[in-house]
Amino acid sequence: MKLDNIRIVLVHTSHPGNIGGVARAMKNMGIGKLYLVAPRQYPDEQANWRAASAGDVLDRAVVTQTLEEAIADCQFVVGTSARGRRIPWPLLDPRECAQRMGVASGHGEVAVIFGREDRGLTNDELKLCNLHLNIPTDDAYSSLNLAMAVQIVCYELRMLMVSSELPADEHQQWDTPFSSSENMERFYVHLEETLVDIEFLDPAAPRQLMSRLRRLYSRVRLDEMELNILRGILTQTRKWVAKARKP
């Protein structure tokens, strides 16, 4: 397990004080990588004040304009979700999720994504994730502020590292690195274009097809060689379709 390979990603954070609170929560648990996707107001003195002695986390924070940029080099991506979704996705609590992240962090970059303070992550943002994380709270008052939510997840990661009780490592029996988020996104574009070409997918009435395919491949976790094989099949399919359509 490598905490240095785990990053916290905040999407469209509206209040700079929350960014500072998150930095402090992260440093308490030994996690130092913070990515900020299009924050509304940053840098800002309120962030520095709330961070207290975690100003170094803010100093190293990476600001990006899109979520895709923030997770492009990650092999394992987790999105926090408080709501049920039309298409269910693998959903774990923080303790279960920490185990999965702990294993993955030993072999590549891992991202945990937290959404907007008022409405979390969008469905499209959650589709970029391998699995979803839900923090169980009392139904009578389920609201957590952003720093609280980050603290809970970072605490579980810290406890896992201290206990050194990682689950079985699937990477130890694997011969090829898992594909990055950036390469998976290229694959999804290629797949959608091919499905349209062969008239399996109607762009005017997609009926959640791509969402379900994303869920399928996120659950399986393709390695780079498997991804190249699938893209080769797609490329060859499009070539044959083009030939068949020639007069």
What CATH number is associated with residue 134? 3.40.1280.10
- Cα gap 239→217, rounded to integer Å: 24
57 and 167 co-located in one domain: yes
- The answer to whether residue 173 scores a pLDDT higher than 80 is no
- The answer to whether residue 91 scores a pLDDT higher than 80 is yes
- Tell me: the pLDDT tens digits for 122-168? 999 999 999 999 999 998 998 899 999 999 999 999 999 888 655 55
The stretch 73-83 carries a mean pLDDT of 91
pTM comes to: 0.81
**What does the pLDDT read at residue 102?**
93
**How many folded domains does the chain comprise?**
2
| pLDDT-based confidence at residue 99 (cuts at 50, 70, 90) | very high
Strands 62-64 and 74-80: unpaired
167 and 239 co-located in one domain: no
CATH number of the domain bearing residue 210: 1.10.8.590
DSSP letters for the chain:
--GGGEEEEEES---HHHHHHHHHHHHHTT--EEEEES-SS-S-HHHHHHHTT-HHHHHHPEEESSHHHHHTTEEEEEEE--S--SS---EE-HHHHHHHHHHHHTTSEEEEEE-BTTTB--HHHHTT-SEEE-----TTS----HHHHHHHHHHHHHHHHHHT-----GGGG-SSPBPPHHHHHHHHHHHHHHHHHTTSS-TT--TTHHHHHHHHHHHH--BHHHHHHHHHHHHHHHHHHHHHH--
61 and 136 co-located in one domain: yes
50 and 108 co-located in one domain: yes
Domain that holds residue 212: 174-245
20 and 73 co-located in one domain: yes
